[in-house]
């Protein structure tokens, strides 16, 4: 039977091929600097909106990787409220969403503070406020006390993907990990984020939530690598796009004899792709700010402003009169009047796809009107 990496002596003394990863590390560092520079040169409100969009995406996608789908509006509202960003969102937010948001913000906003057992226990407790994961009661705010296997497949035909280290050694393994994490090592900060992610996943110290905490740890170290709490890209979003490869690489490298080159190479390339996508988010937020600058003196009621903001933020599904009425809590007639007014002002138009029901969208070239 193939050994797991943690079964080798001094398994945490990782090795990698510098030559293979230096080029991609350089590209990541260059793009990080470019994006950070771009963001510093624009207005405060654009920065705020980009930060809000990025953190919302990060929370949603980190949970989605684990098969948990959170409510977009609740996540965005929770982040906006905690960061003091103006956002006309929901008031009632689920406890589990508050918990996930709390963990990510603690990791990224307090990135320079030491990471210790207590802080990790706090994150874990925030992720599982009820003490349950689905239908299973789990140990909250403490390391696991049981043997653990990562399995898939139907009962009786399970496939074992990973056998975690014994619970008896979890505390000492975490002591060693945290000692390394908090030390000023000579390792590049981005590289450290990649190593920490893998190291933590291998220890698998909790009953559940290990993946989400590993990604928060990476986010924390990436914030340190930039010396900034301003997050303008989402690694979790990119991992979600490449979820199968993420698991495949982890599964392969978990059997290596301390050589983690393949994992580092994949992680850095994944991060690079997430930085490229950030540019698109940046353009979208800039578009929203320019839109409102352009319509600064356009007469609009509160319902119209609410719905336009939703459309500019990436409204899910098609905009119909019935949806407008439901979200703004008005009658269908009022909704139609609101929409017609926006069509006359050159802000909305009917979607060209036709079909039985009429859908509306923002006129892309509003600057020409």
Domains delineated in the chain: 5-286 (1.10.3290.10), 299-368 (1.10.10.10)
Cα–Cα distance, 87 to 84 (Å, whole number): 9
Supply the pTM of this predicted model.
0.81
What is the bridge-based pairing of β-strands 348-350 and 159-163?
unpaired
List beta partners, residue 133: 136
Q: Work out the number of other CB atoms within 10 angstroms of the CB of residue 191.
A: 21
Contact 25, 195 (CB under 8 A): no
Contact 309, 88 (CB under 8 A): yes
Q: What is the pLDDT of residue 20?
A: 96
Q: What is the pLDDT along the chain (369 residues), one digit of tens a residue?
A: 689 999 999 999 999 999 999 999 999 999 999 899 888 878 887 888 889 989 999 999 999 999 999 999 999 999 999 999 988 776 789 999 999 999 999 999 999 999 999 999 999 999 999 999 989 999 999 999 999 999 888 888 888 999 999 999 999 999 999 999 999 889 999 999 999 999 999 999 999 999 999 999 999 999 999 999 999 999 999 999 999 999 999 999 999 999 999 999 999 999 999 999 887 777 777 788 889 889 999 999 999 999 999 999 877 788 999 999 999 999 999 999 999 999 999 999 998 765 567 899 898 765 554
> What are the respective helix, strand and coil percentages of the chain, to the nearest 5?
60, 5, 35
Distances 58 to 53, 77, 149, 195 between C-alpha atoms, Å: 9, 14, 27, 20
DSSP state of 319: B
Distances 264 to 18, 133, 249 between C-alpha atoms, Å: 10, 31, 10
Cα–Cα distance, 133 to 64 (Å, whole number): 15
């Amino acid at each position: 039977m193939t050994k797991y990496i943690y079964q080798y002596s001094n398994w945490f003394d990782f090795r990698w091929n510098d030559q293979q990863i230096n080029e991609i590390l350089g590209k990541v560092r260059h793009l990080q600097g470019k994006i950070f520079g771009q963001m510093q040169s624009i207005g405060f409100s654009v920065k705020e909106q980009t930060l809000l969009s990025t953190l919302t995406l990060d929370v949603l996608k980190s949970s989605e990787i684990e098969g948990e789908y959170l409510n977009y509006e609740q996540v965005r509202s929770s982040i906006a409220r905690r960061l003091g960003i103006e956002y006309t969102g929901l008031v009632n937010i689920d406890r589990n969403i508050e918990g996930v948001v709390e963990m990510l913000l603690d990791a990224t906003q307090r990135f320079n503070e030491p990471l210790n057992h207590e802080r990790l226990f706090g994150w874990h407790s925030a992720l599982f406020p009820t003490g349950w994961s689905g239908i299973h009661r789990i140990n909250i705010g403490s390391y696991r006390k049981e043997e653990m296997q990562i399995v898939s497949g139907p009962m009786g035909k399970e496939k074992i993907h990973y056998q975690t280290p014994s619970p008896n050694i979890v505390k000492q393994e975490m002591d060693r990990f945290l000692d390394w994490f908090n030390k000023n090592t000579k390792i590049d900060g981005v590289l450290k984020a990649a190593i920490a992610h893998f190291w933590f996943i291998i220890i698998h110290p909790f009953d559940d939530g290990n993946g989400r905490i590993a990604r928060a740890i990476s986010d924390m170290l990436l914030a340190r690598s930039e010396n900034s709490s301003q997050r303008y890209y989402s690694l979790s979003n990119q991992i979600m796009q490449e979820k199968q490869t993420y698991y495949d690489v982890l599964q392969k490298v978990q059997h290596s004899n301390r050589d983690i080159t393949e994992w580092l190479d994949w992680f850095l390339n994944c991060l690079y792709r997430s930085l490229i996508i950030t540019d698109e988010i940046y353009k979208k937020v800039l578009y929203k700010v320019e839109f409102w600058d352009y319509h600064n003196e356009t007469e609009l009621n509160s319902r119209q402003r609410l719905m336009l903001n939703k459309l500019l933020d990436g409204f899910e599904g098609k905009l119909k009169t019935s949806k407008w009425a439901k979200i703004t809590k008005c009658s269908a007639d009022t909704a139609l009047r609101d929409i017609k007014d926006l069509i006359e002002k050159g802000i909305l138009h009917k979607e060209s796809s036709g079909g039985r029901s009429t859908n509306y969208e923002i006129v892309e070239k509003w600057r020409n009107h």
